[in-house]
């Protein structure tokens, strides 16, 4: 059973989910699952197709936004759109949750959801050190 790490009231992250974790996520009130893990990154991980099927069966939205390394602009943009739309509580996952947290952080900075300092503190409270992303967060944050 994978642990869900709450970053904000509407965004949580997790390491690799199983198909069984999808129903648990629905039962916990999540509305959308974001898969940030490329298929076949590890032989034992469920495929995106299997996770999409499980999400649909559980009544959840599902987005496959895979990446390795820094999140590309398209992933940050789509994550920001989902966050900005208020689609309901979102659960994003990757291998450990760190990539998903970084995508959330950059998206949050882009839409001005919080200041870079607040974003770093929220990530740290969820167990993820994103201090190395400070410069990127500051470059994306709206100028006031």
Give the closest residue to 112 by CA, choosing from 80, 87, 88, 89: 80
| Per-residue pLDDT tens digits for 73-102 | 999 999 999 999 878 899 999 999 999 999
Residue pair 126/7 in contact by the 8 Å Cβ criterion: yes
Helix axes 98-111, 73-85, angle to 10 degrees: 70
Please give the model's pTM, rounded to 2 decimal places. Answer: 0.96
Question: Does the pLDDT value for residue 143 go beyond 80?
Answer: no
Q: Which residues, listed in sequence order, are joined to residue 62 by a DSSP beta bridge?
A: 33
Question: Does the pLDDT value for residue 144 go beyond 70?
Answer: no
Tokens of 7: 């970053």
Residue pair 15/3 in contact by the 8 Å Cβ criterion: yes
| Per-residue pLDDT tens digits for 26-85 | 999 999 999 999 999 999 999 999 999 999 999 999 999 999 999 999 999 999 999 998
């Amino acid at each position: 059973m994978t642990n869900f790490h709450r970053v904000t009231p509407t965004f949580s992250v997790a390491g690799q989910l199983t198909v069984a974790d999808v129903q648990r996520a629905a039962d916990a009130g999540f509305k959308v699952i974001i898969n940030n893990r490329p298929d076949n990154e590890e032989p034992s991980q469920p495929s995106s197709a299997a996770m999409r099927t499980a999400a649909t069966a559980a009544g959840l939205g599902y987005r496959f936004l895979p990446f390795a390394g820094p999140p590309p602009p398209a992933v940050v943009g789509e994550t920001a759109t989902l966050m900005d739309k208020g689609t309901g509580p979102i659960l994003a996952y990757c291998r450990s949750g760190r990539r998903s947290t970084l995508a959330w952080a950059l998206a949050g900075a882009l839409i001005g959801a919080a200041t870079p300092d607040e974003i770093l503190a929220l990530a740290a409270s969820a167990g993820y050190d994103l201090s190395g992303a400070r410069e990127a967060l500051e470059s994306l944050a709206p100028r006031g």
